[in-house]
Amino acid sequence: MISSRILLNRDELVVKQRLIFRLRTEAVMATSNPSVFLLTVNGQIEGANFPEYDNLYCKYCFVYGHDWAPTSGLEEGITQITCKGSQSSHRLIWNFPLETTFKSTNPSGWPQLVVSVYGPDVFGNDVVRGYGATHIPFTPGQHTRTIPMFVPEPTWRVQKFTSWLLGRRPEYTDPKVVAQGEGREVTRVRSQGFVTVSFHIMTKDMKKLGYDTGPSSPANAQSATSGWSTEEQAYDT
């Protein structure tokens, strides 16, 4: 029994060693010559400025190209409904966190954040109040984006009336339409307010793959212990 136990242990050991070896090689591979780069988007949908409307909520999603894949975090989300405060600013605050990490092999199709704002109309129907999109900032660091919003307009004036009456405003077949340019020429839109989003961007291995997006100042170069940095420069040291 003992011998068999030892044997088993030895087997386990071998397996373990193999495993460790593999992990190590993987780790080496990962640090020395990565095949993907990572982009972490933290931040929040801070709020919106829709002077005419109240009780709005916001949906968001990311649109990205073929070479991108989200590795962690939520790709889509819906915020709570927010009413305007009594303060003078009349801003709608959501403070809805965004936390997503993407990996990619190619900067083409860089992720875009698509937000669409909805809220009830006079009759309580849920109608869209605005679509908007913005690219995730390229450079590591903190960014704030104010996204101008717009909604598609009814084709005919009669439709404008009936859509108001029936509470079915024209909507995009897909909110992601606003992240692409193709086919937009057939639509007519009306601008409608602003959504403010703040981003904290981190990238990893971008520079190693030959994409330099960071500012050229070699500031605060720190150790690359975490592997994450807001400064791509860290990898040079």
Partner 1 sequence: MKEPPGSVEDPGENLRRTFRAQRQRRKKRLLEQSSAQESQDDVDEISTIQPHSEDEASAEKAADPEVLSRLPTGSQRGLSSRLQHTAGSQHLDDSVTRHLEEKLRAARSKGESLQQEEASREPGSRLQSLRDRDTVTRFDREVDPDRAGRHDVPLDLGAKVKFREAARQTEKGLPTAEEAYNFFTLNFEPDPQGGTERISRKRQKQKKTAGGVRDEEGENEAEEQEDGEVDDDNQDENEDQSEEAPLVRDEEEDLFIIEQSSQDFLEVRKAEYVGYRKRIQRERESELLFTPSFRKVPTSIKLPENMEPRYLEDEGLYVGERPPVSLTNENILENRILKMEEGKEWFGDDGRIMALPDPIKESSTRPPLFHMEEVLDPALQTVYRKALKSKYANLYITGTADPEGDYQLDVDVSGLIFSHHPLFSREHVLGARLAQLYDQYLTRQHNNLTGHLTDKLNGLRSALRNMLEIHGGQSLTEAMQQRISEYSLEVRNTRQLRDTEQEKDRTLLKNIVKVWKEIKALRDFQKFTNTPYKLYLRKENINRATDEREYEDEILAEVLELEAESEEDYQRKLAEYKKQLEEWKLSRRKQKSKKKKRKKKKGQVQDDTEEEDKDQELSESEGPVDEGPPKPEPPNKPDFDSIEQRVREKAFRIRRKPGESILIPELSASGNITASELCPRAEIARREDVARRSLFIKILYNDKEVSRTDSRSLNTDFRVHFGQIFNLKIVNCPQSINLQVFEEIGSSCSLLAQVFIPVPEPSVLTGSVPLEEFEFSSNQRVMFDHEGVGSDVPLSFAADGSNKQTLLTSGKVSCCVSWGIGEDDVPLAPPVSQQPGGIHSGLGRLDAVTYIGASGLYDMKKIGEWATQSRLDPNDPTNVSIMQLLKVASSGEVTAPGYFRLEQLQEEFNFVTEEEFESSRRFRLLRLRNQEVAEFRNYKYVPALEREVTDKMFQDYEKRLKEGEIIDTKEHLDSHRALVAKYLQKIRESVINRFLLAKHHYLLSDLVIEEEIPSIGILGINLFKLAEPKRPLRPQRKERKKVTAQNLSDGDIKLLINIIRAYDIPIRRPQSNKPAQSPQTAIHGSDWLTNQVQVRPFVEVSFQRTVLQTTTADGPNPCWNEELQLPFSAPNGDYSTVSLQSVKDDVFINIFDEVVYETGVNDRGSGKSVHTRAEKHWLGSVRIPFSTIYSQSRIDGTFKVNTPAVLLGYSKERSHGNNGGYDTLRSLSEGAFITLFITIEPQLVPGESIREKMKEVKFDSQEDERLLQASETFEREAAQAYPDRPCFTTVIDLNGKTVFITRYIRPLNPPQELLDAFPNNPQEATALVARFVSLIPSLPDRVSFSGVCDLWSTCDQFLTLLAGDEEEHAVLLCNYFLSMGKKAWLIIGTAIPEGPTAYVLTLEQSRYLIWNPSSGQYYGQYDTFCPLQAVGCLVNADNVWLNIQEYTSPMRMSFDNTKGNLWKPFFSRSFSHPGLSSVQPEELVYRRVDKAAAAELQDRIEKILKEKIMEWRPRHPTRWNRYCTTTLKQFLPKLELSGGQDVAEGHRHELQSLLGDNRISGFPLHLPFSEIRPIIEAVYSTGVHNVQASNVEFALAVYVHPYPNNVLSVWVYLASLVRT
Residue type at 37 in one-letter notation? F
Binds partner 1 (CB under 8 A): choice among 44, 93, 171, 213: 171
Q: How far is the CB of 186 from partner 1 (least distance, A)?
A: 5
Q: Which two tokens stand for residue 160?
A: 């404008």
Q: How far is the CB of 211 from partner 1 (least distance, A)?
A: 9
Give the integer Cα–Cα distance in Å for 71 and 206: 16
Told to check if 185 binds partner 1 by CB under 8 A, we report: yes
Give the integer Cα–Cα distance in Å for 84 and 144: 21
Q: How far is the CB of 148 from partner 1 (least distance, A)?
A: 19
- The residue with tokens 């009669």 is 158
- The residue with tokens 């869209």 is 128
CB atoms within 10 A of CB 128: 19
* Closer residue to partner 1, CB minimum distance, 143 or 160: 160
By the 10 Å C-beta count (0-12 exposed, 13-18 middle, 19+ buried), 48 is classed as buried
Element (H, E) at 2: helix 2-32
Q: How far is the CB of 83 from partner 1 (least distance, A)?
A: 28
Told to check if 177 binds partner 1 by CB under 8 A, we report: yes
Binds partner 1 (CB under 8 A): choice among 4, 86, 88, 173: 173
* Closer residue to partner 1, CB minimum distance, 158 or 219: 158
Q: How far is the CB of 121 from partner 1 (least distance, A)?
A: 14
Residue type at 66 in one-letter notation? H
Report the SS3 class of residue 185.
helix
Q: Which two tokens stand for residue 108?
A: 């083409």
Q: Which of residues 111-150 bind partner 1 (CB under 8 A)?
A: none
Q: Which of residues 40-99 bind partner 1 (CB under 8 A)?
A: 61, 66-67, 69
DSSP 82: B
* Closer residue to partner 1, CB minimum distance, 75 or 236: 75
- Which positions touch partner 1 (CB under 8 A)? 33-37, 61, 66-67, 69, 104-106, 108, 152, 154-156, 158-159, 162-163, 166, 168, 170-174, 176-177, 182-187, 209
